[in-house]
Structure 1
Amino acid sequence: MATPTPVPPAPPFAPGPGFGLRSPAGLGLAAAVLLGLVAAADLFACVADQMEASAAQDLLGGGVGEDLLRRAHRADTLYNAASITQGATLVAAAVVYLCWLWLVRRNAGVFEPYGHRMKRGWAIGGWFVPIVNLWFPRRVVLDTWTASVPPGTRVRTTPVNAWWTLWILSLLVSRAAGRQYADAHDPGELVSAARLMLFSDALDAAAAILAVLVVVHLTRMQQRRILAGPGALPAFG
Structure 2
Amino acid sequence: MPTPRPAPGSYLRSPIGLGRAAVALLGLVIAVDLFAVYADLVLYDVTGDLLDGASAGAAAGRLDDANSLNTVAGGIQSGALIACAVVYLCWFVRVRANAGVFAPDTQSMKPGWAIGGWFVPFVNLWYPRRITRDIWDASSPLGARRSYLLVNAWWTLWLLSLVGDRVGSAQSTDADTVDGTHAGAYALMISDALDIAAAALAITLVLRLTRMQHAKALAGPGIPAGA
- Both proteins in one fold, TM over 0.5: yes
Match of 1:29 among 20, 26, 30: 20
RMSD of aligned residue pairs (Cα, Å): 1.9
Q: Alignment partner of 1:21: what SS?
A: coil
The structural deviation recorded for 1:229 is: 4.5
Q: What letter matches 1:180 in structure 2?
A: Q
Which residue in 2 is equivalent to 1:38?
Answer: 29
Q: What letter matches 1:38 in structure 2?
A: V
Residue 133 (1) aligns with residue 141 (2): no
Match of 1:148 among 139, 144, 149: 139
The structural deviation recorded for 1:65 is: 6.8
Match of 2:167 among 149, 165, 176: 176
Which residue in 2 is equivalent to 1:223?
Answer: 214
Match of 1:101 among 92, 99, 121: 92
CA distance in 2, matches of 1:156, 1:100: 22
Q: TM-score, normalised by structure 1?
A: 0.86
Q: Contact (CA 8 Å) 2:46, 2:62: kept in 1 or not?
A: yes
TM superposition outliers: structure 1 runs of 4+ over 6 Å? none
CA distance in 2, matches of 1:61, 1:229: 66
Q: What letter matches 1:80 in structure 2?
A: T
Match of 1:204 among 195, 202, 209: 195
Give the gaps of 5 or more residues in structure 2. none
Give the gaps of 5 or more residues in structure 1. 1-13
Deviation string, structure 1 residues 165-206 (Cα, Å, up to 9, x no partner): 011111112111111111211111211111111111111111
Which residue in 1 is equivalent to 2:41?
Answer: 50
Task: Count the aligned residue pairs.
Answer: 216
CA distance in 1, matches of 2:58, 2:182: 19
CA distance in 2, matches of 1:66, 1:120: 58
Structure 1 range deviating more: 87-96 or 35-44: 35-44
Q: Alignment partner of 1:114: what SS?
A: helix
The structural deviation recorded for 1:35 is: 0.9
More helix by share: 2
CA distance in 2, matches of 1:87, 1:189: 23
CA distance in 2, matches of 1:76, 1:217: 39
Which residue in 1 is equivalent to 2:177?
Answer: 186
CA distance in 1, matches of 2:128, 2:56: 51
CA distance in 1, matches of 2:96, 2:183: 42
The structural deviation recorded for 1:152 is: 2.5
- Residue identity (%): 51
Q: TM-score, normalised by structure 2?
A: 0.90
Residue 113 (1) aligns with residue 104 (2): yes
Deviation string, structure 1 residues 125-158 (Cα, Å, up to 9, x no partner): 1011011000011111110011100112211211
